[in-house]
Amino acid sequence: DAGITQSPRYKITETGRQVTLMCHQTWSHSYMFWYRQDLGHGLRLIYYSAAADITDKGEVPDGYVVSRSKTENFPLTLESATRSQTSVYFCASRDPDRATYEQYFGPGTRLTVT
């Protein structure tokens, strides 16, 4: 399917476990982003990537690792999950050649850390 997809959509994990959230887009957008949504904070940027093999930290990167070996994929890994990482995670992409700055969001992954 065309667009941007995230998997899994729901995940429950235990404190200390490693978990990877997947993000895949079919547009070949060079920019991709990970945000987390928490009550009272809106969406906050975790990491972003300007192209394959280029990533940079956002506002709340601690405890997260990203990689981008292929343009279409941008996985987010929680190396040792903590309860404070319980959140809804959104992946997004953008075409930098379009001067609209509009981002396209995936459906989100609801992660619960017990």
Q: Is 90 in the site for other proteins (CB under 8 A)?
A: yes
Minimum gap (Å) between residue 69 Cβ and other proteins: 20
Give the three-state DSSP class for 11. Answer: strand
The contact pattern for other proteins, residues 24-63, with x = CB under 8 A and - = no contact, is: -------x-x-x----xxxxxx--x-x-------x-----
- Given a contact cutoff of 8 angstroms between Cβ atoms, the answer to whether 87 and 81 are in contact is no
Q: Which is nearer to other proteins, 60 or 81 (CB)?
A: 60
Q: For residue 34, how many C-alpha atoms fall within 13 Å in the half-sphere facing its CB?
A: 31
